[in-house]
Structure 1
């Protein structure tokens, strides 16, 4: 601030307002929402006479990018039905930034850093950079949130883990059902030994309730129920499936011999009828027993 009369007379400047000459003195006040400081400047002569109209001063506090985005959870769990079309919604991840969200300092953007496993293709999922929505096996994604509108050169970042599992369902006590299809991609000649896939369940099914077979047309792996499952005993199975080629890889090929995927099978409860544990039941009594005498008690059990 400066008065245009300071050429002719000596001017003394001062400010008034809360935090200046009003309690609490010598402390600025700030609008907690707008980030503005409101002050008023005065110009008076050496006798204290006002020589200019007071001027309102607006001081804006500029936010500094001094906070990293923080994910609300460090691990997110989601599921997607096998065979889901591209664009199918899977899950949502969310991060917050303590900086001003009306500036680039607090504008968070998301991206996928990595996917485990890399098969059948490295980029099985996409993430909306602004909302954090993930859209079309257990796959583990490392997701990153960056402020400064996603500028990796200047922004601060943080990461979280998103676990995504293929899911299928099977009614209890049913056999012969295909409960999940696994799709693989192989660049070799279709329907040749180099292309044909061989699937195996390597964990999650110690009692051998499921088997894997290959669809000869599509090369998909079909998870089939071969032994009845009981909802009351196992409500879900978490299988790990490995796939490899029917033929050995050519010498010199620098690639993994096999790939794995996680599959979660949920068992559906069905209404099972009650039954008598002892059937038939023998009853013995002496002749001449009076009418109304209790002979035995029948009890029934329900597996549900």
Structure 2
């Protein structure tokens, strides 16, 4: 009987002082770690991004990326987490759920920012972060209307200048990529307006353009100065209403989207790389087109 009591005693003590060896046990002494880098859409390391680790709504710890975009979250208790990454000019990146068990070492955990929202730009800025102004009038301005349609408060406004169209280009060349933007045609815009996305832009004589007008959506190719409509579809586009345009390019395949709906699927091997950007124009040189752009999303492979 005494022997049984002793065995039960040590069994209970052993349970109380269990080694917590289960990898999912929050009290397991072996902690998890995440190391990685933060990058811009083109892969450039991004400095001063804040990477925060959350459990529920509680922030557990955070780190700020260094000059090479590197960050580390260390000594993490086993559990299920959410990671939030924030940077000055980009929409927050959220990764969840992320299960981290005891002893987990996540190396090379890269986070890519993709959506530029313009909300931290100073009003009146001509070349928004990541973009180069080529022609026309561009500036950051406030647009608090239709609050659920785009990020607040700022937008990137483009306006043609007499015979000169408005054009801004993202800073890097792309081969395979996705490029999407929200846009709104302002009431001040006169008839015969056009706006959209230029891509695989090498120069003014060689590029593609997905452009929308009051009654059509068209994919246009310009090669050695000769412009040709590759595809055209009728569509009514009202002013003062947000919508989205998107382009996706892989090798010789071009896909274009209106409000996330596939509109054109083309195979074309003439131009396979180049820059991408935003454009505003009017068919009548003396008339003005004014367009607000926001939430420009760029991803590359």
Q: Judge same fold: TM > 0.5, yes or no.
A: no
What is the TM-score normalised by the length of structure 2? Answer: 0.30
TM-score w.r.t. the length of structure 1 is 0.29
Larger radius of gyration: 1
Larger strand percent: 2
